[in-house]
Amino acid sequence: MKIICIGSGNVATHMAGAFKKKGHDLIQVWSRDADHAEALASSLGAKVVADLGEIDLNADLYLIAIKDDAISSVAHALGEVSGLVVHTSGATSIAELDRFKSHGVLYPLQTFSKAKEVDFKDIPLCIEAVDADSLNKLRTIAAELSKLVYEVDSDKRKILHLSAVFACNFVNHLYELGAQVLRSHDLDFEMLRPLIMETAVKVQTEMPASVQTGPAVRDDEQTILKHLELLESSPHLKEIYQTLSESIKNSN
Amino acid sequence: MKIICIGSGNVATHMAGAFKKKGHDLIQVWSRDADHAEALASSLGAKVVADLGEIDLNADLYLIAIKDDAISSVAHALGEVSGLVVHTSGATSIAELDRFKSHGVLYPLQTFSKAKEVDFKDIPLCIEAVDADSLNKLRTIAAELSKLVYEVDSDKRKILHLSAVFACNFVNHLYELGAQVLRSHDLDFEMLRPLIMETAVKVQTEMPASVQTGPAVRDDEQTILKHLELLESSPHLKEIYQTLSESIKNSN
């Protein structure tokens, strides 16, 4: 397949790289950020295009992996392409691409960092397409990259994206709050890392509710009060501690 | 070493099992819960004692792994033992054991489930002892079980325990909230599992603040508003979403 990559962020970089590895031909890269575009294009053996008007109209796949609020304007600046046009956004409706005959969504439910390699075959890919033809194409494309392909419509994809905010973005922030607590007492975040891993490993086979531990789930008010005392000088952490402890108690 | 295990919960089970594996002699088990005591004792080849007064006074190590608020009363019911007495609690001061000449703390910074094996060598063990002799003993004992041994006083251990509530207990609860969001729309928690793993893997080498992703860290108000709309019928989830999003924004 001839593929054009629009965007040069984490998702664009990892997904275009995964296609390249599968032997596909990445022919052009466009990005708002010229330096990033240059770096990605050179790693893919593709050409940089500075203007969306220069994009080849005869590629097989147009991969739009850019910020959600830019998808609409970029879609409107693209010419009359004949290939399949997809965006990779969890929170954006498929309808944003409806000026293209063949279009869809290829949403990877994963968190990417530029520096870190990921194995695409273990990443859930959520696909949606405007018609049966596009869906067949997209199904084949997705199955090449990952063994976890789900058909998910735009409404459910938004829910998935929202659940990921809880289970990934907020979780990472709680790691950070844990690190803050340690830092304020000259303790090293390193000490928490094995616990963080095990907490994630546990729910790979169990449901989280069944492996909940800690003072809130066992109604250990004495420990909760001691913790709130320790947080007396950090009203912000105290508020989060109280909110989440209440939530755990109410889930019982 | 002759070891006596007081308690039969997750920590007692895993730690006594780890000592057994290292070839030590688990001679007695006491627990408030007679059935649990029986099960643990039989797996360790130890005897159950029904009454704390029957505990052998000549063992080398007394492992008190019970609920925090029971440590004090159990310690007072124990006879005049000559060996090293330790508790395994993160939130409890070493002073609770000060009626014993040789005493200390052996706190594993990890989450345990009865069903799941853990490799003790990767578990941070935080040790504290009343005097140099006890500390030397405890250092040797801890180093047999784990390659990660830290000397941590009672004040710092309480901080570690508090940080673990953020990075483990609250994190697991956020997994559960993610699962709730999915369940309400007939989506499978299975889809979130790879993302949960990767989120934990990332911070094994990076600091969480440097790998924070999601709408709040990039000030994507449009997505945040869409998410709050989706949560309109769950005021409880909405409150947590707002509290944690604000916290992420303020950490920037």
Closest listed residue to residue A104, CA positions, set A122, A120, A82, A128? A128
pLDDT per residue of chain A (252 residues) written in tens, 0 to 9: 999 999 999 999 999 999 999 999 999 999 999 999 999 999 999 999 999 999 999 999 999 999 988 999 999 999 999 999 999 999 899 999 999 999 999 999 998 877 778 889 999 999 999 999 999 999 999 999 999 999 999 999 999 999 999 999 999 999 999 999 999 999 999 999 999 999 999 999 999 999 999 999 989 898 999 999 999 999 999 999 999 999 999 997
CA distance B57 to chain A (A): 31
Are residue B23 and residue B145 in the same domain, yes or no? yes
The count of other CB atoms within 10 Å of the CB of residue B131 is 11
- pLDDT value of position A69: 87
Q: Do A197 and B220 touch (CB under 8 A)?
A: no
- Does pLDDT of B113 surpass 90? no
Pairing between strand B61-64 and B125-129?
unpaired
Q: Which of A169, A222, A245 to mutate to test the interface with B (most CBs of B within 10 A)?
A: A169
Closest listed residue to residue A139, CA positions, set A129, B150, A130? A129
Number of domains in chain A: 2
- Does pLDDT of B92 surpass 80? yes
Q: Which amino acid is at A68?
A: D
Domain end marker among A119, A152, A185:
A152
Are residue A198 and residue A96 in the same domain, yes or no? no
CA distance A5 to chain B (A): 22
Are residue A139 and residue A184 in the same domain, yes or no? no
Q: Which of B159, B203, B217 to mutate to test the interface with A (most CBs of A within 10 A)?
A: B203
Residues in A closer than 8 angstroms to B123, CB to CB, are 194
CA distance A9 to chain B (A): 12
Alpha carbon A86 to its chain's center: 16
Are residue A27 and residue A148 in the same domain, yes or no? yes
Instruction: Give the contacts of A135 (CB within 8 A, at least 6 positions apart).
Output: A104, A127, A128, A129, A151
Q: Does the interface ipTM go beyond 0.95?
A: no
Residues in B closer than 8 angstroms to A184, CB to CB, are 159
Nearest CB among B184, B189, B195 relative to A168 is that of: B195
Entry field: residues in chain B: 252
Q: Cβ(A105)–Cβ(A94) under 8 Å? A: yes
Strand A47-48: give its sheet, edge to edge: A47-48, A25-30, A2-6, A61-64, A84-87, A103-108, A125-129, A149-151
CATH assignment at residue B202: 1.10.1040.20
Domain end marker among B152, B176, B205:
B152
Q: Do B169 and A220 touch (CB under 8 A)?
A: no
Entry field: residues in chain A: 252
CA distance B216 to chain A (A): 9
Per residue in B146-191, pLDDT (tens digit) is 999 999 999 999 999 999 999 999 999 999 999 999 999 999 999 9
Residues in B closer than 8 angstroms to A172, CB to CB, are 199, 202-203, 208, 211-213
CATH assignment at residue B55: 3.40.50.720
Are residue A173 and residue A110 in the same domain, yes or no? no
Are residue B125 and residue B198 in the same domain, yes or no? no
Nearest CB among B126, B150, B204 relative to A193 is that of: B204
- pLDDT value of position A118: 82
- Does pLDDT of B232 surpass 90? yes
Q: Do B203 and A217 touch (CB under 8 A)?
A: no
- pLDDT value of position B155: 94
Q: Torsions phi, psi of A63, nearest 5?
A: -100, 110
Residues in B closer than 8 angstroms to A68, CB to CB, are 220, 222-223
Per residue in A125-164, pLDDT (tens digit) is 999 999 999 999 999 999 999 999 999 999 999 999 999 9
B60/B2 Cα distance (integer angstroms) = 5
Nearest chain B Cα to A204, which residue?
Answer: B193
Are residue B29 and residue B125 in the same domain, yes or no? yes
Residues in A closer than 8 angstroms to B239, CB to CB, are 243
Nearest chain A Cα to B120, which residue?
Answer: A194
Question: Residue B150 is encoded by which pair of tokens?
Answer: 């830290």
Q: Torsions phi, psi of A153, nearest 5?
A: -80, 175
Domain span at residue B25 reads: 2-152
Are residue A76 and residue A162 in the same domain, yes or no? no
Tokens 């979130």 sit at which residue? B192
Task: Please give the model's pTM, rounded to 2 decimal places.
Answer: 0.91
- pLDDT value of position A3: 98
Nearest CB among A176, A193, A204 relative to B251 is that of: A176
Residues in A closer than 8 angstroms to B193, CB to CB, are 203-204
Residues in A closer than 8 angstroms to B118, CB to CB, are 198
Are residue A104 and residue A207 in the same domain, yes or no? no
- pLDDT value of position B119: 87
The count of other CB atoms within 10 Å of the CB of residue B95 is 10
Are residue A37 and residue A127 in the same domain, yes or no? yes
Are residue B239 and residue B213 in the same domain, yes or no? yes
Q: Cβ(B18)–Cβ(B41) under 8 Å? A: no
Domain end marker among B152, B178, B200:
B152
Are residue A24 and residue A100 in the same domain, yes or no? yes
